[in-house]
A and B are shown apart, each in its own frame.
Chain A
């Protein structure tokens, strides 16, 4: 295989961090495959890639939360072992995750020094004056004008972010990892954050910066490493690449599916959404799905895809706009949506899709009960017949209908969730991340099942972070960013590159 290009900056000292040949396998996926990363002191190293490219796993390896199967670390040229979060901290690695690690009802100073409070003459008693003075100094160094006595619960997202940075710096971090630090910040706040980061550079701190906003590669990054499918795709100097070049490096994963024939039988509009706005933050949503179509909703993590599904299904409160199913306006609420023939196959099937401790048969029937037993009396014979029929149609691999759902494989569980709607006479399906956590063979079966559904005249809205799957399977796709739809791609234009161009921030 051709080696991925690595551009080293000219003549520098020993790198601050070197990760070499890192591999990590999780059941069913190769999360990292021989990935290397080198970051110098005073460098801002950007890490980019699609969802699932391996960015988060790489960071978790660096901070000791995940143990790699193979690979080695060097810090300042010396080989080191990182077995735990404590090891990483001792070596000067600090990570600011997207989910903040602040304690809501402790104040800023207490949060910064949690577990490392400055002591006083009395054992265990904290010298609060000294703690607040030190916190004050840290905030001042970051240019933050905030009272150190404010509880974290009263801080805005940007302020929390800065407190996290202060916390990391207070640990004398020499390697600072930021996971999408600007995701929730306003432009003004981003400017201030970047000013801080430039200051950190001057102080010789090595910064690893994960971003979905490609523009940031050029505004703040010195070099950029692109990961694709768990592999190292390239490391480039920011100044010597451009947006298009990065996007090209990010795409190109193979997906195994029997290519369907598109655009054959698009029928009447089944679902139509106009100006939808919901309490969960999605807004300005307009889309439609025709009978016989699989329509994709693509976007990066946090772009609002799942929220869109929940709003359409009526699971989250709708504030404005309308959802029409088969021409009739839905009043809202999942019960009404199901009664009118809409079925949601949720992202977290174990939480929201299945009753894990009930049998396959019970799960298959749960949504269909009002339809099969209109007079409210349960007849075991009828139920058994319908369950047997569904199991055969979906080819669910289960020894018996009485098997508990939790003992099935991921792919078979997913079939049961679909089967639940099949029996209920659903003709519009929302699939949220239908291939998450199932193996390759099950994925192919899942795709086959979706094709059968639309072949029988149903309509499918498929929400997915797997761009290759959207491209391979969908007739059309909508792209989301910042909780709204930013574009629609028809079959001809439906490529990973085009989706990424819309999904990423690069105005």
Chain B
């Protein structure tokens, strides 16, 4: 087998297609289905809308991909996002500038992320238990701080930023694109990225290579917290307020999107392009069902069915 022949030209594309997660086909099927049966679905404003709706989810799903590749889980992301949103909104209400308010939200996220990382790596808790604990702490914190009420009156700066657009593309989509670019470089072009693959794929090999595995492992969770804090910018901007329960359960959409996108809990298998497709599939499904006026209770079930369908497609293709 000549090395030139392995991955060049058409063969390379074919290899990519055979490795493309099942979600690529599901997403295509969903788009065709809703375009045929959903009036107004295929309109430009609606497609932009899907992008806007998906951008927050992508900010969570990107770090969640890394966490799951490292054979972990972060259940606290939605709750941390909610708490960071409260902090961001409160800071704006108190008259701080947007940069300071965002800094405070990032700090909240980072604290929870670092806590998750330490609980998992130093204390040795299973990620499920550790992040379930911090989920409770963050959610409780948000409710206590607000008494369950929304934080309103955040002033014009954030809503103005959120409503802005460049080249006809709204702000939140640019943020999502930038975040993807940063994560792409991080996972595929840095030592940190190689460590993510290795922590899931062969932790012993990494340790034998003399790498401080715990530090990198904890950093993955810290990154998750940081991104949850950052996502508060979009969430608060979209809602024009801080809402203690607004992001509850969003971690499950993120996990579903990551799994739908082909990342697996074993052996460090996965990748970011698949996660983008997974996020879009979730976004298209929710939006399409809305357009078709399907009751929201049924929409919840649909995400679960999407997850199962994606896994099924992958498992059938894996067998053949």
Contacts and interface: CB of A to CB of B under 8 A. Distances in A.
A389 interface: no
A103 B1 contact: no
A114 B206 contact: yes
A114 to B, nearest CB: 5
Contacts of A105: 197, 201, 267-270
B44 interface: no
B123 interface: no
Given A105-B201, A117-B191, 16 more contacts: A103-B194, A103-B202, A103-B205, A105-B268, A106-B194, A106-B201, A106-B268, A114-B198, A114-B209, A114-B211, A115-B210, A125-B185, A126-B190, A145-B2, A146-B3, A150-B7
Interface in B1-26: 1-3, 6-7
Nearest to B192: A124
B7 A149 contact: yes
Contact of B210 (A85, A103, A145): A85
Q: Which 7 A-B residue pairs are closest in the complex by CB-CB distance?
A: A115-B209, A101-B205, A103-B201, A115-B211, A103-B198, A147-B6, A103-B202
B10 to A, nearest CB: 16
Nearest to B270: A105
B222 to A, nearest CB: 15
Contacts of B191: 115, 117, 119, 124, 126
Contacts of A103: 194, 197-198, 201-202, 205-206, 268
A364 interface: no
A62 B236 CA distance: 58
Nearest to A113: B194
B194 A126 contact: yes
A147 B7 contact: yes
A124 B182 CA distance: 13
A85 B185 CA distance: 31
A195 interface: no
Nearest to A84: B210
Contacts of B293: none
A125 B189 contact: yes
Contacts of A150: 6-7
B11 to A, nearest CB: 11
Mostly helix, strand, loop or mixed at chain B's interface?
helix
A321 interface: no
B301 interface: no
Interface in B300-320: none
Contacts of B205: 101-103, 114
Interface string B85-115: 0000000000000000000000000000000
Interface of A: 85-86, 89, 101-106, 110, 114-117, 119, 124-126, 128, 145-147, 149-150, 153
A85 B267 CA distance: 23
B167 interface: no
Majority SS at the chain A contact face: loop
A145 B3 contact: yes
18 contacts: A85-B207, A86-B210, A89-B210, A102-B202, A102-B205, A103-B194, A103-B202, A103-B206, A104-B269, A105-B267, A106-B194, A106-B197, A106-B268, A125-B185, A128-B189, A146-B6, A150-B6, A153-B267
Interface of B: 1-3, 6-7, 185, 189-192, 194, 197-198, 201-202, 204-211, 267-270
A150 B11 CA distance: 13
A101 B211 CA distance: 14
A126 B210 contact: no
A405 B210 CA distance: 39
A114 B194 contact: yes
Contacts of B208: 85, 101
A472 B190 CA distance: 59
Contacts of A85: 207-208, 210
A104 B268 contact: yes
A148 to B, nearest CB: 9
Contacts of A106: 194, 197-198, 201, 268
Contacts of A116: 209
Contacts of B207: 85
Contacts of A126: 189-191, 194
A86 B204 CA distance: 13
A104 B210 contact: no
A114 B198 CA distance: 9
A128 to B, nearest CB: 7
Nearest to A88: B208
B7 A104 contact: no
Contacts of B192: 124
Contacts of B201: 103-106
A326 B210 CA distance: 57
Contacts of A104: 201-202, 267-269
Contacts of A102: 202, 205
A43 B269 CA distance: 40
B3 A125 contact: no
